[in-house]
């Protein structure tokens, strides 16, 4: 899960704080990230038609501030979703109160929420906590660590990742964190991720880099195929490293993209590994498809098949389910050329079973990380998707009646 | 589950038989349906790109015989899938041996298999059993009952349904059976269903009626979203009732379609009720969508959401997950007009939570049959889908390592 945070160097010019304001029964439930100067911002929001109030407000703020933001405020314990006009007012009040405390403009604030859907947000608890929260911000790794805990809901552990690269001979740092365990405890939802960097990047270049980094990380994972109403990924780049501006192409851009991609990849895989009830991370690679798009559709169908995922929970070398899932993905291929390997063991070649030692395969399939490789031998299209196994614990976590 | 079979009247001119030929460790594993005269046949086969050998052979036979068939032979215990040229030979040999024993043409035989994928079919065991099987056919309800057991794999109970209607003042009978528990034991798969009737129906009229009947029954159920490589639904109509020919329109057609639809609906719901690990059948009705197609997409997304299905396992009145699933279905609607009822309790109106008694709702959600009604108040499109809940037993059944 990356190096220990003590060893990581915080990006310059960012401060963090958190508090327990009473939205959760116990523990930290309000977090704040502040950039000392306006930072370029790029965000990816949920594609769900049902969008929580903070998403609507944050999208407005990004437009009004031309992508230059000062802070991100996050509460856990309540998603402020399906909460109507009152929900929008609550997110607005949160941003306005923080802007007053920081002496900046309201539209320079991003607002995020995660937790129960459909219950009114007790925004007065947030508003009461904001002055102290804003006063306590610190550029300390301990503050960042606490922030990563304040945004957790059903996560079993905090998730963060760091990277750096050289621009203009100077080192720039990236530091990110995430919460999300697939979706959801009963009525809990949401993947949230925040990445800060002291690189100097214009908003358009940052948006492009984020779009590219997300394709092979956050958009390539699936736990249960459900999409939350609150998903938010935000990157702030404040330029405090003092290096030259990174443009949306060229060597600087490529180095920055590689670093951003590694942070996104690490966070995305940490989310899968902490998927509700998950025992293992499964990498599904499809090659030899007619197109990348087709390979992606096949990989996602395999990754979301309950039959494949339950077989993986039991370490069952059940390649027949993988082939059957590929066959219903709506993509043309010749099953008689298909080759399937699970955990390095070839089980199917030219669409026919290959003898293998079941016991060895079973043992290998019980590892923490299991690769599945499907080669259709029908083209140059390829895709890679990460998922987790589907266990009785997933059902227990999600079927328990909220009492 | 329909009336008791003793009370049902068998369609005229059909005979049934079954045997234990040794493909399963224990019990009946070979079944036969014979029509005394060539019968109009209509079939629906899996849409999976990976098709088992018997599907390929049966499709050829339907074409070559112009849709007039004499018999259906079914084995359980082995799906004869991913078995290459040897698998095709095995299905061909099966049909040829039965044709010899019955003194008919090979292309008048439909062949079906269900069971393990990827293991060679021991066809010699089937071939050895065929002469006795063909000699033992009987027009007895007991023979039909045994047939319904011979096709079972992970099913916990046989599934059958009967109906009748009047054509030309005379009663015609329909009798059907099915196997399938979603998909799947480890490497077990497949929904099979066979319906016989003594109505006189031309192959084109029968194909049309089947297509219409399937839309609101077999194509409106989902257990885990997986599609087997062997799915087959076959209808035989032999005209032995002596009534006039049913044409593809008019009053006779509508009465026949209603009867066929009721048999298909009953069988489809029995499959859902016997879904692996299922505790309850859930009917999802979406109304007020811009189109039927949109309503169908939303209903299916809700029906296949692991979060919705696990909530249903626990009787959790978690309407937020239903709204969130609807929102990611890729269909436009206004969440602020959405209304959601679970088990008759309104929980959301105009996209806002409605207060309800949680304990009462929880108790109602623990019933064997649970209706979910979603009204989007945005048009006249509607759809209805049946599914089951997603329990720890499903995972246990499917995650167990085949030892």
Query: Is there a single domain that holds both residue B247 and residue B370?
Result: no
pLDDT at position B1 over 80: no
Catalytic residue among B106, B114, B148, B190: B190
Q: How far is CA A294 from CA A204, A319, A340, A383, B51, in A?
A: 30, 20, 17, 9, 19
Q: What is the pLDDT of residues B349-373, one digit of tens each?
A: 999 899 999 999 999 999 999 999 9
Residue B186: is its pLDDT beyond 50? no
Does residue A190 share a domain with residue A299? no
Phi, psi torsion values for B179, nearest 5 degrees? -135, 155
Domain boundary among B238, B273, B308: B273
Q: Alpha-carbon distance B401 to B299, whole Å?
A: 33
* pLDDT tens readout for residues A309-335: 989 999 999 898 899 899 989 999 999
A215 and A342 together in one domain: no
* Closest-CA residue to A42 (of A224, A339, A243, A246): A246
HSE at residue B91, side-chain half, CA atoms within 13 A, is 31
Q: Name the DSSP class of A149.
A: H
* Nearest residue to A6 via CA among A137, A140, A139: A140
Number of domains in chain A: 2
- Which candidate from A48, A224, A351 shows the least CB-CB separation from B82? A351
pLDDT of A183-202, one tens digit each? 543 344 568 999 999 999 99
Average pLDDT value for residue range B289-297: 97
Strands of the A369-375 sheet, one edge to the other: A352-353, A345-349, A339-342, A369-375, A281-289, A381-388
Q: What is the pLDDT of residue A116?
A: 81
Q: Is residue B247 domain-shared with residue B355, that is, in the same domain?
A: no
Domain stop point among B216, B247, B273: B273
Q: Is A391 in the active site?
A: no
Query: pTM of this prediction?
Result: 0.85
Q: What's the gap in Å between the CA of A10 and the closest CA on chain B?
A: 36
**What residues in A contact B187, CB-CB < 8 Å?**
318, 320-321
Q: Are residues A13 and A156 in the same domain?
A: yes
Interface predicted TM-score (ipTM) of this complex, two decimals: 0.81
User: Pairing state of beta strands B369-375 and B281-289?
Assistant: parallel
B316/A contact by beta carbon, under 8 A: yes
- Kindly report, residue by residue over B229-267, the tens digit of the pLDDT: 888 999 999 999 999 999 999 999 999 999 999 999 999
Q: What is the CATH number of the domain that holds A206?
A: 3.60.70.12
- Range in A33-42, B145-154, B268-277 with the lowest mean pLDDT: B268-277
Q: Are residues B269 and B293 in the same domain?
A: no
* Residues B154 and B254 both lie in one domain: yes
Which of B307, B315, B370, B390 to mutate to test binding with chain A, by most A CBs within 10 Å of its CB? B307
Structure tokens at A386: 């990460």
Tell me which of A63-77, A329-343, B182-196, B328-342 is least confident.
B182-196
In this structure, are residues B114 and B230 in contact, taking their beta carbons and an 8 Å threshold?
yes
Decide if A49 and B316 are in contact by the 8 Å CB cutoff: no
Same domain, B268 and B287: no
Residues B75 and B205 in one domain: yes
Residues of chain A with pLDDT under 50: 1-3, 184-188, 403
Q: Quick one: A213 and A142 in the same domain? A: yes
Nearest C-alpha of chain A: how many angstroms from B186? Answer: 7
A107 and A209 co-located in one domain: yes
Judge whether residue B398 has pLDDT over 80: no
Domain boundary, last residue among A221, A253, A273: A273
B322 shares contact with chain A (CB less than 8 Å): no
Q: What is the pLDDT of residue B343?
A: 97
Q: What is the DSSP string of A286-326?
A: EEEESSHHHHHHHHHHHHH-HHHHHHHHTT---HHHHHHHH
Q: For the segment B102-136, what is each residue's pLDDT rounded down to a tens digit? A: 999 999 999 999 988 888 999 999 999 999 999 99
Shared-domain flag, residues A290 and A180: no
Inter-chain residue contact B49 with A332, CB threshold 8 Å: yes
Nearest chain A CA: its distance from B49 CA (Å)? 5
Show the tokens assigned to A2: 């990356």
**pLDDT at res. B46:** 84
Q: Please state, rounded to an integer, the average pLDDT across all residues of chain B.
A: 91
Domain limits for position B387: 281-399
Q: Which residues of B233-258 are buried (b: 16+ CB within 10 A; e: fewer)?
A: bbbbbbbbbebeebeeeeebbebbbe
Alpha helix (H) residue ranges in B24-181? 53-64, 84-102, 123-135, 141-150
* Region of residue B320 (phi > 0: left; psi between -120 and 50: alpha; otherwise: beta): alpha
Left, alpha or beta for B325 (phi > 0: left; psi -120 to 50: alpha)?
Answer: alpha
Kindly report the CATH number assigned to the domain that includes residue A350.
Answer: 3.10.20.340
Active-site residue, selected from the candidate residues A83, A153, A190, A387 = A190
Q: A254 to chain B nearest CA, in Å?
A: 33
Name the residue of chain A whose CA is nearest to B401's CA: A316
What was the pLDDT predicted at B199? 98
What is the structure's pLDDT at B19? 97
Contact A306 B307 (CB under 8 A): no
Is residue A381 within 8 Å of A288, Cβ to Cβ?
A: yes
Chain B residue at shortest CA distance from A49:
B327
**pLDDT of amino acid B8:** 64
Q: Which of B153, B25, B393, B187 is nearest to A317 (CA)?
A: B187
pLDDT of residue B73: 98
């Amino acid at each position: 899960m990356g190096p220990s945070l003590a060893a990581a160097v915080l990006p310059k010019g960012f401060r963090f704080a958190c508090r327990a304001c009473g939205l959760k029964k116990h523990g930290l439930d309000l977090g704040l990230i502040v950039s000392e100067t306006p930072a370029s911002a790029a965000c990816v929001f949920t594609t769900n038609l049902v969008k929580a109030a903070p998403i609507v407000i944050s999208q407005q703020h990004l437009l009004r501030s031309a992508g230059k933001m000062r802070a991100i405020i996050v509460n856990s314990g309540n998603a402020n979703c399906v909460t109507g006009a009152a929900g929008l007012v609550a997110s607005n009040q949160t941003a306005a109160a923080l802007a007053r405390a920081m002496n900046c403009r309201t539209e320079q604030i991003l607002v995020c929420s995660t937790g129960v859907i459909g219950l009114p947000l007790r925004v007065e608890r947030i508003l009461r906590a904001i002055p102290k929260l804003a006063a306590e911000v610190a550029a300390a790794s301990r503050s960042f660590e606490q922030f990563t805990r304040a945004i957790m809901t059903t996560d079993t552990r905090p998730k963060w990742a760091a990277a750096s690269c050289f621009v203009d001979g100077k080192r720039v740092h990236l530091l990110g964190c995430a919460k999300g365990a697939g979706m959801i405890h009963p009525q809990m939802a949401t993947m949230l991720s925040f990445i800060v960097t002291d690189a100097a990047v214009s908003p358009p270049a940052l948006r492009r880099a984020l779009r590219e980094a997300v394709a092979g990380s956050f958009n390539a994972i699936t736990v249960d195929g459900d999409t939350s109403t609150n998903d938010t990924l935000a990157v702030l780049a404040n330029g405090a490293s003092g290096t030259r501006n990174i443009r949306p192409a060229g060597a600087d851009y490529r180095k920055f993209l590689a670093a951003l991609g590694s942070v996104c990849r690490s966070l995305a895989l940490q989310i899968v590994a902490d998927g509700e009830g998950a025992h293992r991370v499964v990498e599904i690679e499809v090659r030899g498809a007619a197109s990348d798009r087709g390979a992606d559709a096949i990989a996602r169908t395999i990754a979301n098949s309950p039959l494949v995922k339950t077989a993986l929970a039991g370490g069952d070398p059940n390649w027949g389910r993988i082939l059957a899932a590929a066959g219903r993905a709506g993509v043309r291929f010749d099953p008689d050329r298909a080759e399937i390997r699970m955990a390095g063991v070839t089980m199917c070649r030219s669409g026919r079973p290959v003898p293998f030692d079941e016991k060895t395969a079973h043992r290998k399939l019980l590892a923490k990380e299991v690769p599945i490789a499907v080669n259709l031998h029908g083209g140059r299209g390829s895709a890679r998707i990460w998922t987790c196994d589907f266990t009785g614990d997933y059902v227990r976590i999600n079927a328990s009646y909220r009492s």
